[in-house]
Structure formats: structure tokens, C-alpha cells
Structure 1
Amino acid sequence: MTATPPDGAVPVRIEVPAVYCPVPYAIHPEAIRLESRSVAWLDRFGLGRDQQWVAAINCGEAAALTLPAVPVDIAQIYSDLCYLALAIDDAPVGSGPQALEGVLAYMAGYVPRVVYTLKVPDAGVLEEAHPFEAPWIDLAHRIHARTTPGQTAHFAEAVRDWLGGMLWEETNPAGQVPSINTYVARRISSMGAFTAAALVAAATAVTVDERDMPPVQALRGAATLLIIMDNDVFSFGRESGEANPASRNLVHLLAHQGLATDQAVAEVLVLRDQVMRLFVDLSDQVKTSGSPQLRDYLTGLSHLVRGALDWHLRERTHRYAVADGPLVSHAGITDQPPGQVGQPPALPAIRWWWDHLDAPRSSLLR
């Protein structure tokens, strides 16, 4: 949810070098249909009245880029969910302690009611006339119709993690800046990418035993963090005009610690290179002994990373732009790996991911 920006806040423009991503470009063949159906779905629940906002986001394209190989009905669920998520995220909450208390009180009840509805669609615990509640009833019915009970439960858990992460963010005391480790752990939940991963799991029919192996959990987390870092770089300029951006954006957090803006961007990209190299190496390792379904699942995770990056490249002139143009100048994508990327980051929340590599890779650990 978007806090009221301070008076006089000015967005900042940045330049970003080519970003390393060796995953090939892909897009779902039903991209246009996904968007048109999502727009109609938004109108059904009264969320699509701001046509400029809808056009700036284009969640149909986002779903098509991030889930290019799944059945169209699963991609449609994610397209619709993406719009609902961003509508919640972009909802203004005002400023001051009373506004925050109101948000926290609502979210504390909202999260368990949504999760319960995903498990029992006709439970009657969400308001059918509420624009942020009624859509979940529809999504719950569609999830149940399309997935197994285990896959439904996994999706519900992913939504719980996402909304719980948002609640965690909202409980951050006003003006307090988290540690980098806390920020990373919190954002891995609040980003919501686990919901997309759960839909990939349903589409590929990967078994629970393989899906929940520690190395695969590490890859799911790594894919999410890659999406987070791309989001934070591209949204940095716009969030410069928001209240306490250092609690919601890694570039701002590093700048708050004393780095110049270009140095902060560079540090985020160094961490991104480390995580991408881990993602590539660990994916290759796990695929050698995994089932065809697990290999498809890991390929699906890689599509999430590349698709989100492509969406942000498109979005630099839309969602994260201001009236006089884009806030990010970008050199595109490169499939050429970086040179030495140094030691794994000293962040307990994610350091364990590297423990699942069979042997130290010289490019990672030198």
C-alpha cells in the first residue's frame, strides 16, 4: 500500500547498465487475450475505472512474459491476481499513526480470511461487495477447479506468505530503516512471486517431495530475490517521492547508509549477479538428477525471472514513469556472465542457498 509522499519530494532519474540474464525471451501466445479478459475482470469488481492505471500496468503482458508455457487458464489466474495485487499495493493509505493503525487492523483480519477462502471458496468470510475481497472468492473457485487439493493448499500458503509479508512491511515503525538482511527476508515474502511459482508447480505437476527439496526452495527464493532487485532498481526513481523509501527499496536502503545513488545501484547489481550465477549453477545441478516435471518447474522459475525483467524494461515508460518521461535509462539485457562475483553475501536470510552447491564454483567463491 502506498503511503502519502512528503511535501516537496522529487523523483530521481538513474542510468542502469546491461543486466545479466541468460534465460531466453519467451511470451505466451495468448498475451492479448489475457489482458482483455483481465480488464473485463477488473471492471466486474469495480477495480478498472482508472484506465490510465490499467494501461500503465498491462498485467496480461506480465503474465504472458512470466508464465509463457503454462495453460492459458492458469496464466489468466495470474494475470487477474497481478492486477488485484497491484490495486492493493497502489491503494493510498494516507499518513500518520491513525491511518497506519487502520491499515494494520484491516490487514490483520484480511489475511486469514483470504487464506481461508482459498481453502474453502464458499466459506462466506469475505464481503462479496468489497472490491479487495470479492475477487478472491472468484479466484478461489477457479483455483479449486484447476488444481489438485495439494496444489490448492500450496497456492494458499504462497498467498499467506505474500499478504503476511505485506503486513510485516506495514508494521515497520515510521522512519525506521531495516537492516539489509531483514529487508531481503521481508521482501522475499511481500513480493508475491511465490504465488506465481505455485502456479508453475500446478502447471508442471512437480511432486511435493521434489518441489520442497531444500535446493529447490533455495532456487525459488533466488528467483524471487532476482525479481525484487530488478523491481527495486526500476522503481527507485518513482519511490524517491514516497515516504520512507529506504524501508521499501534496496537501492534507497543502501543510499540511506551513505552510498551515492550510482554506487547504490551498482551494489544492488553486484548482489544480483551473485544470485543469478547461483541460480544458473544450482538449477543445472538439480536438473541433472531431477524428474522431467522438476526440470520443467525449474525452467518455469527461470521464465519468472526473465519475464519480470522484460516487463520492467517495458514498464520504464509506464508504471515507473512520471509526467515528463521515464526515470530509468537502461542498456538492456546481456547473456554474457559477469567476471568474478566474489564471496556469497553475508546475509543469513539467504547465505544458506549457496550451501546447496555440490562444490564451490571458482567464479562464485574466488
Structure 2
Amino acid sequence: MSIDLSPDPDVARLAERTASFVRDVVLPVEAEHGGSSARAGEETRLRLQHAAKEAGVFAPHVSREYGGHNLDMRDRAVVFEEAGYSLFGPPALNIAAPDEGNMHMLEHIATPEQKERYLRPLAAGDVRSCFAMTEPAPGAGSDPAALTTRAERVPGGWRIDGRKWFITGADGAAYAICMARTSGQPGDRGGATMFLVDADNPGMKVVRHIETLDESMFGGHCEVVFDECVVTDDAVLGEVDEGFTYAQVRLGPARMTHCMRWLGIARRAQDIVVARAAERQVFGTCLADQGMAQQMLADNEIDIAAARGLIRQACWELDQGRSGAQSTAIAKTFTAEAVWRTVDRSLQLCGALGISGDVLLSRFLREVRPFRIYDGPSETHRWAIAKRVVRRHLTDGSRADG
């Protein structure tokens, strides 16, 4: 039986338009600012988003009701990879983290009133947002159940108290989706609730930017304090105490869209090094004719192809309504490491050029390295993958014995 992996014709055309837009419009802007969002500033992001709207490639992931193309996860994989060919491609299309994941979750969970107030301006690119879950140790990090930020009932609403860090995009965000414990104790697997907190709430403060390897995220990675932060009852996103369940609506797909975007950068790195290897003369011959160079180029192709296959398998499961816990963990772990290997090999083959500012490979290397930690470290995913494998074996074995 043959398997057709080609996208729907409309999706293929959208991907082609996205690729052209990124190459013609976005790449020159990325080069001008060295791939750094801090250098580019919000004005650049808004200008690129305006251009994306004119090109008809803006916000392809949201429903048509909110101005998008209503792509499912498999269709996103094709388009997002093309957008990810540049560090500035995802923010230009309004599919960058954390906004893209927040849009996905708001469409699934928010009330009609919350969608109008929070989702519609986010989908239009009029505002940015952030997702405030991660905390300094010993709080929520690789283990979300360690959540320490608390929300207590007060007349007419809730008071949130706690400290968050590595909150991507917090500086300049119009609002935060804050995860806080409403019952139980740190370590309990339930008892969390999501709250929509406006940036002008006096109880929420961005206290510092955390210096990191990566610089492409608009709004940076910040430490945020919730100190007697009072919100009304209509700020609750979803049901009380169901925050961890709702987080899965966001986290699995968001891991995959991260993978899609970074796969675009891996392709970009490969294109840079292939062009260099084809023209660079060393020891009386072309670099691309050297056996060691050929092996590195081939390994890049293998990593890119394997990552793409794992991403699409996981996306297919998500589109079928499955949890995708195992497939997304496998795809995220492999892709994060494969993208790193691809960029690292490409930089090595380019030699001195690779570490110079004449190409952006050194910037790419700094950008992709944190992905082996963000959205769950590789070690945590491997632990979870192994646990599921053993659990399945024990379950299947007990059935066979019975």
C-alpha cells in the first residue's frame, strides 16, 4: 500500500508563498539585525507582520473566524518549516512562541467573551502574550507538578502570589496566562488553574530580563512576580483545578510547532554549507569532494529527513485526537538534537566563515542549543518515553498471561 505524504494543493501553494515571502522579504531584515529581536525592536516585527498580511501568509494556524487558514497540525508542519527558514519568519507570520501556542489553547478553551478580548487581538498581531508556568527551583520546571505559585479566593475573584522565570515574551506582552495552584500541595498532579492576567494589573511585574544564549524571541525571557495580584472570576481560563489538563492541549502541539520552526533553520544551515562546500577549494579539490565533508553533509540530510518524518507522525496522531504523548516526546527529543547536530556540522564545515558574522550560523547555533532544554529537557523526555514503554510491556504482558 502506497502512502502519500504530499500536502493538500492549497497547503502546498501556501507553503510556496511562505517560502517566497521569507526569502524575499524576511531574510534581508534578519541579516540587517543579525537575527536579534532586541536589535530589531517591535517596529520591525509589526512591519514584517503587515507585509505577511499583504502576502496572504499571516496567522495560517488560526481559524478563518480569526483571519487564519485553519490548518491542522500536519498542514502546519509544511508551512511552519518554510517560515522557520529565518529566525524572523515565525514572528512575521505570527506563529512564534509563545503566542502561537496561546492562540491554539485559547481557541480550544476560552469562553466567547475571552476569545473576543484576548484571542482576536492576539491573532491579528495587535498584541503579544506570554505563558507563565515555569518557576525558579524548587518550583515548576521539568516537573510542572512542583508548581508553587498559589491563587486564593477573595471576594469577587482570586489573589495570585508567586514568582515565575523564563517567561518568554513577557516584556511588552498585553497579558499573561498564569498557571497557579488552587488546591493541593507542590508535587500533587492536580490542583492547578489558568488565569488571564492583564499586563496593567499592579500585582504583576516584570522584574528582569534573563540573559540567555538565544536572542530571537521578541520580549525576551523574563522573571515575573505576582504579588497580591487580584483578578476577577472571569479571568479563570477553563475550569478551576483543571489547569494541568488544559496545559496538555497546548504543550503537545506547541512542542511540535517548535520542532517545525527549528527544522527550517536546520535546512537553512544545510543550504549555507552545501553552497560553501560546492565552491570552496581545499588541497587542490572542491570541499564537497572530500570524504569527511560528504559524510557530514549526508548526516545533515539524514537528520533533517528523520526529524521531518517523526514530526509528521506525531502531528498525524494529534490530528486524530490522540494524546500523542509518546510520539511528541520522541519527535521533540530527536528533533532538538538533530537540529543542533545539523547546525553544528554546518558551522564546522564552513570553518572560520562559520564562526564569523558574515553568515548567521553562529547565531543559529546559539538559538537552537536551548531547545534541548525548552519544552522539556531531552533527559526528562527520555525518562517519560522509557516509562511508557515499560508500562506498555507490563500491561501487554499481563493480558497475555491472562
Please say whether Structure 1 and Structure 2 have the same fold, judged by a TM-score greater than 0.5. Answer: no
Relative to its length, the structure with more helix (as a share) is 1
* TM-score w.r.t. length of structure 1: 0.30
Relative to its length, the structure with more strand (as a share) is 2
Query: With CA pairs under 8 Å and 6+ residues apart, which has the higher RCO, 1 or 2?
Result: 1
When Rg is computed on C-alpha atoms for both structures, the one with the higher figure is 2
* TM-score w.r.t. length of structure 2: 0.28
